Amino acid sequence: MRRHKEPEVRKSEILDAAQKLFIEKGYAKTTVTDILNVHGLSKGVFYYYFKSKEEVMDAIIGRIVDASVNNAKKIVANPQMTPPQKLCAILMGQGQTEEMIKDRENIAHQFHEAENAEMHQKSLVQSIKCLAPVMAEILKEDNGANTFSTDYPQETVALFLAAGQTIFDEGLFSWSGEERARYGAAFIEMIEKTLGVPAGYFKDVIKIFA
């Protein structure tokens, strides 16, 4: 006899099964039936939780974005880190578990398949929307003589995220090592100047994480 499972557990099981299939078979080629077959579920159970395969993908993206937002919140709350260290840590994706990175990479690989560009866009938009308010808190912190100066903390970090996540996306641009290094330097210059801290301020912080 099938044990009765908590709705959240069941939902999470469906998401795990779907995520695995999307990575292995591709999003377009995976059917709702494929997802159901993993745990022998009925269509009724599936449609109780989700309207469509697209909604499953949205929920998977939501989980990945939530994980990175929770990670960012931990960094913001860390009393041992200075504001620039926090900002760089989040921009560079520090502090994420191996599982988080693997999940994101696997899904990102799917994003770069032609038919999955939509998920890629959704994930970019969600991560900008959710990370910007968390990161904006860092810009408001007291940072002594180098307190960040911007009248638009949330919008400014959103612009940084949009620029960085587009230009450094290896599925979109295939830069040479030299080009990548120049873009990295230009990105840091832009952040330093926009936040009104001395040139090289973030460069030193980034070395700590390198």
Would you tell me which residues interact with a second copy (CB under 8 A)?
A: 54, 114-115, 117-118, 120-121, 124-125, 128-129, 150-152, 155-156, 158-160, 162-163, 166-167, 172-173, 182-183, 185-187, 189-190, 193-194, 196
- Provide the minimum distance between the beta carbon of 147 and a second copy in the complex, in angstroms, as a whole number: 15
CA distances in angstroms from 32 to 35, 92, 115, 177, 195, listed in the order given: 5, 35, 17, 41, 47
Q: Measuring CA to CA, which residue among 135, 131, 151, 133 is closest to residue 195?
A: 151
CA distances in angstroms from 31 to 50, 56, 177, 191, listed in the order given: 13, 11, 39, 44
- Provide the minimum distance between the beta carbon of 12 and a second copy in the complex, in angstroms, as a whole number: 25
- Provide the minimum distance between the beta carbon of 200 and a second copy in the complex, in angstroms, as a whole number: 12
Nearest CB to a second copy, comparing residues 81 and 134: 134
Nearest CB to a second copy, comparing residues 92 and 128: 128
Nearest CB to a second copy, comparing residues 98 and 178: 178
Whether 163 contacts 173, CB under 8 Å: no
- Provide the minimum distance between the beta carbon of 175 and a second copy in the complex, in angstroms, as a whole number: 10
Rounded CA separation 161/112 (Å) = 19
Nearest CB to a second copy, comparing residues 95 and 184: 184
Whether 201 contacts 150, CB under 8 Å: no
- Provide the minimum distance between the beta carbon of 179 and a second copy in the complex, in angstroms, as a whole number: 8
CA distances in angstroms from 36 to 20, 21, 28, 47, 168, listed in the order given: 12, 11, 16, 11, 36
Nearest CB to a second copy, comparing residues 16 and 113: 113
- Provide the minimum distance between the beta carbon of 129 and a second copy in the complex, in angstroms, as a whole number: 8
Rounded CA separation 81/95 (Å) = 12
Q: Which two tokens stand for residue 70?
A: 């929770």
Sign, CA dihedral 6-8-11-17, equals negative
Nearest CB to a second copy, comparing residues 6 and 178: 178
